[in-house]
Structure 1
Amino acid sequence: MPSRHGNGNLANMVTAPRPAPSRKPPVAMRAASEASEAAAEEPTETKEEKSFMDKFGVVIYIGLWYVFNIGYNIYNKKALISYPYPWACALWQMSFGWLIFVPLWILRIRKTPKLTVSQAVTLAPSALGHLATHVGAVIAFFAGAVSFGHIVKASEPVVSSFLNFAFLGEVMPWQVYASLLPIIGGVGLASASELSFNWLCFGAAMGSNLGSASRAVYSKKVMSGGDIGKNMDSANVYAVLTIMATFMLIPISLAIEGPSAMLKGFKLAYHSGGMSFMWQMILSGFYYYMYNEVAFLALGKLDPVSHAVCNTMKRVVIIITAIFVFRNPVTGLGVLGSSIAILGTLIYSLAKNKYAK
């Protein structure tokens, strides 16, 4: 018996402290349970968000891409009518992007790009191509109808194919080159029948094509796979090119149009249009940057065929909208030529995707 009591007392001494820890496990279990429930809820929400973007993300991006692009073409033309200084307008629109991406960097919403002087030098030709693409388009839309400018810009694949052959030695299958014929024929027919045709509009639009194609060829030859800096995603690459192109454009635009003439023209436009003119300038700059910003989000989610279709439809929508808004007269042959040229760009993209892989 004493031994039992001794064992009992020993058992009591051993088990006596247990109630204190025994109160903690339920708390820990509840905490663990709550944490697991929270963890279970978080993936569910993330999954729902991903599911929403998977379903509607492409449509949203394409819709914004179209809206911003249409908005830019309308307000850019209106601004050019009120303020007939295309180099100044191009400089303003290029500079407007700074008001968007610089605050994003300062607030750390977007990572700040970091690159060396040598990396900046590597990007310089692309920035020059970016400059030529934008300025050429602005001058073309200043000199002629927006619809006609886009018809000429539809011939970019012809310029791109020539530059790829000249500088990269790229020879594509005959089917791809054959698909260029409708583009050439359509642009020629539309140009011959265009009532507002002028060589400045045609030449500037072709210069824009040359800048865009040169930028693409240079990127393929030099930039692809190269080290162009830190935090240089697509959005930041575009922002850096915008900064460099702005610095290139400042002396050129001032030399061509002159600061005094720019200022005098701005005062006259503001005196005539007031805040309506100011909104034309602001929206042209905003839409210009935003449609380029959204474009890479939209195109990054599309396969080559869908990309070709969406890009073709975008140009069709812009041309129709411009004709409707600005009441530009068009002939039957002009409509036919435009249709052939636009359809040719789609055929070219599809042929290149199929035969030139």
Structure 2
Amino acid sequence: MTAKGGANGAGSALSGAGGGRFFTVGLIAAWYSSNIGVLLLNKYLLSNYGFKYPIFLTMCHMTACSLLSYIAIAWFKFVPLQTLRSRVQFFKISALSLVFCGSVVSGNISLRYLPVSFNQAVGATTPFFTAVFAYIMTVKREAWLTYITLIPVVTGVIIASGGEPSFHLFGFIMCIGATAARALKTVLQGILLSNEGEKLNSMNLLLYMAPVAVVLLLPATLFMEENVVGKTIALAREDFKIIWYLLFNSCLAYFVNLTNFLVTKHTSPLTLQVLGNAKGAVAVVVSVLIFRNPVTVTGMLGYSVTVAGVILYSEAKKRNK
């Protein structure tokens, strides 16, 4: 009787472990799909479809993030609601939102001029900018080995730039700006929300950042992309699919954040780093297959060198903790 009960208990445990693994794999697949999906759809809309309004597109993303974050937290209780404790904390979050807006808008602008494969190669240099900003703003020094591993990160992009047949200087500058702003947001977040009482999980941070981003992007859209709503309505009269593209793309932008939070929660930081590096490579392959943009051996070599540098950087940081 006892042996049978023990066997049943062991079977249930194995089944639970298998179910847990299946759930984690599903989360990772959803994270990859939403990440790569929003990237490719942004590229299609801004470059191939001819929807040349990256600021308005970003505002659509942030509007969806505002609404869906509220639904996920207030209605579905994915995470407990964390309230803001002071006006100072609100201003700190607003500063983060401004940098975040700069990152997303610059990234979307770069997609108008650069193929996704090269965009991802440049984006892989985020650790370099993170280390630079951390040193400048917090005087936080890493071990020399960590800084040495950043050399191939930068060298790879230089090689990839030289071998990129679709290289566009303005697009490259925007992509570098987006990458630097993304790194700056990470460092600022660590500084501004370092107090225990001010720490917010990523879902709650998005809940407060997204509406601020909409408020910041609205005047920028009206001033820099004149009559964008009228032009979008005119486009919709010719092809109503643009409305569905924008709605789906905006919802997908939220699910990028949601799945990133869930994958972070259900895996280790090291697993997340490895998955992040692999995700960039998958995005490159998928984008080349879909958009058929020319890729040279030199370009792929440069990207490979950058990814190898990022992996070495992650290992060096892990050993020096």
Q: Structure 2 length as normaliser, TM-score?
A: 0.88
**Quick check: 1:144–1:196 contact (8 Å CA) kept in 2?**
yes
Query: Which residue number corresponds to residue 275 of structure 2?
Result: 310
* 1:140 paired residue among 98, 106, 110: 110
Q: Spell out the pairing of 1:171-320 with structure 2 (5 A cutoff).
A: 171-228=141-198, 232-258=200-226, 260=227, 262-275=228-241, 277-320=242-285
Distance 2:244 2:146 in 1: 44
Deviations 1:105-152 (CA, angstroms, capped at 9, x unpaired): 553635444224232112222212221221121111122111111111
Pairing 1:114–2:86 present: no
State the alpha-carbon separation in 2 of the partners of residues 282 and 53 from structure 1: 33
CA distance in 2: counterparts of 1:105 and 1:294, whole angstroms: 14
Cα distance in 1 between the residues matched to 2:102 and 2:196: 23
Q: Residues of 2 paired with 1:313 and 1:69: CA distance?
A: 12
Distance (whole Å) between structure 2 residues aligned to residue 311 and residue 185 of structure 1: 20
* Match status 1:152 vs 2:117: no
Ranges in structure 1 where 5+ consecutive residues have no aligned partner = 1-43
Compared CA separation, residues 306 and 105, structure 1 to 2 (3 A) = closer
Partner of residue 330 from structure 1, selected from 295, 304, 307: 295
Q: What is the RMSD computed on CA atoms of the aligned residues?
A: 2.4
Equivalent AA in structure 2 for residue 92 of structure 1: C
Taking a change above 3 Å as real, the CA distance of residues 307 and 102 of structure 1, as seen in their structure-2 partners, is closer
Give the drift of 1:222.
2.6
Deviations, residues 273-323 of structure 1 (Å, cap 9, x unaligned): 322x22221221111110111102112333333222111100000111111
SS at the partner of 1:297?
helix
* C-alpha deviation, 1:88, in angstroms: 1.0
In the alignment, what sits opposite 2:70? 102
Q: 1:183 to 1:266 in 2, by over 3 A?
A: same
- What secondary structure does 1:84 align onto? coil
Aligned letter for 1:267?
A: I
Instruction: Return the offset for 1:49.
Output: 9.1
Give identity over the alignment, percent.
24
Unaligned runs of 5+ in 2: 1-9
Residue 126 (str. 1) matches residue 96 (str. 2)? yes
- Normalising by the residue count of structure 1, what TM-score does the alignment of the two structures yield? 0.79
What is the number of equivalent residue pairs in this alignment? 308
Per-residue deviation, 1:57: 3.4
| 2:59 and 2:213 in contact (8 A); partners too | no
